[in-house]
Amino acid sequence: MQQEPEITFKNTDVSPALEGRIRDRIGRLERFHHGIIGCRVVVEEGHKAPASAKNPLALTLEVQIPGQLLASHGEEEIREVKDNTGNLVTRVFDAMEHQLDAAVARTKRQVKAHTADHEIGSISRLFPHQGYGFVQVGEGIELYFTENVLHGLAMRELEEGTRVIVSRAHEDGPMGPMANAVRRLGESDRMPF
């Protein structure tokens, strides 16, 4: 965690036992997401409901990860048994762990989709006067492309053998498998060996 966790007690006395349980659960959060920037917990005694003689205890947990602030909240009546708040802490932190799991899964899907969408290939055939060509990727697969899918380069800048990054179209075109984006392969795109 990049920042020290912040635990605040509002409208209620600080409970060392409750704070200890919260700190234990904060320590477990990094098992679910290694990029946690910060964590904030607010423990607050609320106003009692008209039908109840007891004040509710509310726990709000906020976790900052890159590009997102996640929040989990729970509330329960304070019982007569001192420091009987384990269920509240468990519910709020379990909900946050599920959110962190989901955030990691989304990130993995995005990285996988991004990686799978782009391939390295080379220009195998060019027809500059007609405005199209072919890129060879993989085991002899050629993708048809037109000059309107070129990014950062013009058809006149290409020649057979030019290394490019290509993104496949989801549907075939008039000449078979098709590219929907082609750009020159740069140093930053090369795969390390």
In this prediction the pTM is 0.56
* CA nearest to 44, candidates 85, 82, 80: 85
Number of compact structural domains in the chain: 2
pLDDT of 57-72, one tens digit each? 899 999 999 888 999 9
Do 128 and 65 share a structural domain? Answer: no
Model pLDDT, residue 91: 93
Are residue 102 and residue 165 in the same domain, yes or no?
A: no
Residues 109 and 129 in one domain: no
Tokens at residue 7, please?
């635990």
84 in the same domain as 164 = no
Answer yes or no: do 32 and 122 share one domain: no
The amino acid present at 163, given as its one-letter code, is: R
Residues 30-39: what's their mean pLDDT? 88
Work out whether strand 118-127 and strand 132-137 pair parallel, antiparallel, or are unpaired. Answer: antiparallel
| pLDDT tens-place string over residues 70-96 | 999 998 876 644 556 788 999 999 999
Average pLDDT over residues 99-106: 85
pLDDT at 101 over 90: no
Q: 104 and 142: one domain?
A: no
pLDDT, tens only, 8-32: 999 888 889 999 999 999 999 988 8
Q: Same domain for 18 and 98?
A: yes
Residues in the chain: 193
| 110 and 129 part of one domain | no
Q: Based on the number of CB atoms within 10 Å of its own CB, is 76 exposed (0-12), middle (13-18) or buried (19 or more)?
A: middle
Q: Domain range spanning residue 157?
A: 118-189
Arithmetic mean of pLDDT, 137-146: 86
On the question of pLDDT at 114 being above 50, the answer is: no
H or E stretch at 24: helix 16-29
- Domain end residue (candidates: 69, 91, 115): 115
CA 169, CA 101: separation in Å to the nearest integer?
31
Domain assignment present for residue 58? The answer is yes
